[in-house]
């Protein structure tokens, strides 16, 4: 159990376009999902906490208007990178838990975004 | 803000030896501490976790210890094997005003030499 699916696995886009990444919890409901960004050989940097039915909570330094998060249902959260630039190229990975603060996080497969 | 420090950043051990990775956290209210293993290009996978009401937990070759007073916890891998080579991340949960989040350490790249 506790499967998290993320799509797409990789995407290449042109500078100035927008890219949407989906994160689904397949066998459990997640009122909270987390979006991380990971640079090569670096740690998981929390970008924002996605809350079902309400606005996402962004970490300091993360642009809300650039990284739009929508959590429309208990099993789906989306991250849209708007007006992407080459510096947005990175590995984006979502995660979800069973909504207890002392329960494991389960990660999606990640999305490698390359902006040309 | 909340912070998790992890050491060492890289660790090389001979096959069969033990490996120890240490983390410290800043939020005294943290009460859940998972460890994840991430292989190249793959998602992090939970390998062991510990809650604040326990001081030690073991699962075969892997063990975790927690010292709440000192706010640090450690991962111990015994009888290391080449397939243990990966990046390991510790994490601590932090809860504020009814919301919670997981803060990750900077990672340890473990290399087990055959």
HEC assignment per residue over B45-74 = EEEEEEECCCCEEEECCEEEEEECCCCEEE
Which of A28, A16, A29, A33 has the alpha carbon at shortest distance from A83? A16
- Any CB–CB contact under 8 A between A41 and chain B? yes
In this predicted structure, what is the pLDDT of residue B89? 96
Question: Cα separation of B114 and B111, whole Å?
Answer: 10
- Any CB–CB contact under 8 A between A31 and chain B? no
Query: Under an 8 A CB cutoff, do A32 and B99 touch?
Result: yes
Instruction: Give B91's contacts in chain A (Cβ within 8 Å).
Output: 105
Q: For chain B, give the percent of residues with pLDDT over 90.
A: 77
φ and ψ of B3, to 5 deg: -150, 145
Question: Cα separation of B94 and A34, whole Å?
Answer: 13
pLDDT beyond 90 at B52 = no
Query: Under an 8 A CB cutoff, do B93 and A43 touch?
Result: no
- Best residue in B21, B31, B37, B38 for a mutation probing chain A (most A CBs within 10 Å): B38
In this predicted structure, what is the pLDDT of residue A100? 66
Per-residue model confidence as pLDDT tens digits over B99-113: 778 899 999 999 999
Give the pair of three-digit tokens for residue A35: 């979006």
Count Cβ–Cβ pairs < 8 Å, chain A vs chain B. 53
Contact A104, A2 (CB under 8 A): yes
Instruction: Give A110's contacts in chain B (Cβ within 8 Å).
Output: 43
Instruction: Please report, to the nearest 10 degrees, the dihedral formed by the alpha carbons of residues B67, B73, B79, B85 taken in order.
Output: 180
pLDDT beyond 70 at A1 = no
Instruction: Give B108's contacts in chain A (Cβ within 8 Å).
Output: none
In this predicted structure, what is the pLDDT of residue A28? 86
In this predicted structure, what is the pLDDT of residue A47? 95
φ and ψ of B62, to 5 deg: -115, 135
């Amino acid at each position: 159990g506790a499967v998290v699916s993320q799509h797409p696995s990789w995407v290449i886009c042109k500078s100035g376009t927008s890219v949407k990444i989906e994160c689904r919890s397949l066998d459990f409901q997640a009122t909270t999902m987390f979006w991380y960004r990971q640079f090569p050989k670096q740690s998981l940097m929390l970008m924002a906490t996605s809350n079902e039915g309400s606005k996402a909570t962004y970490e300091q330094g993360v642009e809300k208007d650039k990284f739009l998060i929508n959590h429309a249902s208990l099993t789906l959260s989306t991250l849209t990178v708007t007006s992407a630039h080459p510096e947005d190229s990175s590995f984006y990975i979502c995660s979800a838990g069973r909504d207890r603060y002392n329960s494991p996080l389960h990660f999606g497969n990640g999305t490698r975004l390359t902006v040309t | 803000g909340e912070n998790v420090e992890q050491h060492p950043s890289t660790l090389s051990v001979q096959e069969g030896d033990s490996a120890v990775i240490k983390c410290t956290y800043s939020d005294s209210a943290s009460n859940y501490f998972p460890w994840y293993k991430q292989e190249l290009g793959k998602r992090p996978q939970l390998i062991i976790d510990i809650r604040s009401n326990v001081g030690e937990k073991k699962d075969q070759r892997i063990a975790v210890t927690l010292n709440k007073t000192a706010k640090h916890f450690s991962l111990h891998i015994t009888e290391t094997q080449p397939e243990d080579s990966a990046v390991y991340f510790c994490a601590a949960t932090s809860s504020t005003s009814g919301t919670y989040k997981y803060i990750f350490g900077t990672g340890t790249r473990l290399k087990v030499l055959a």
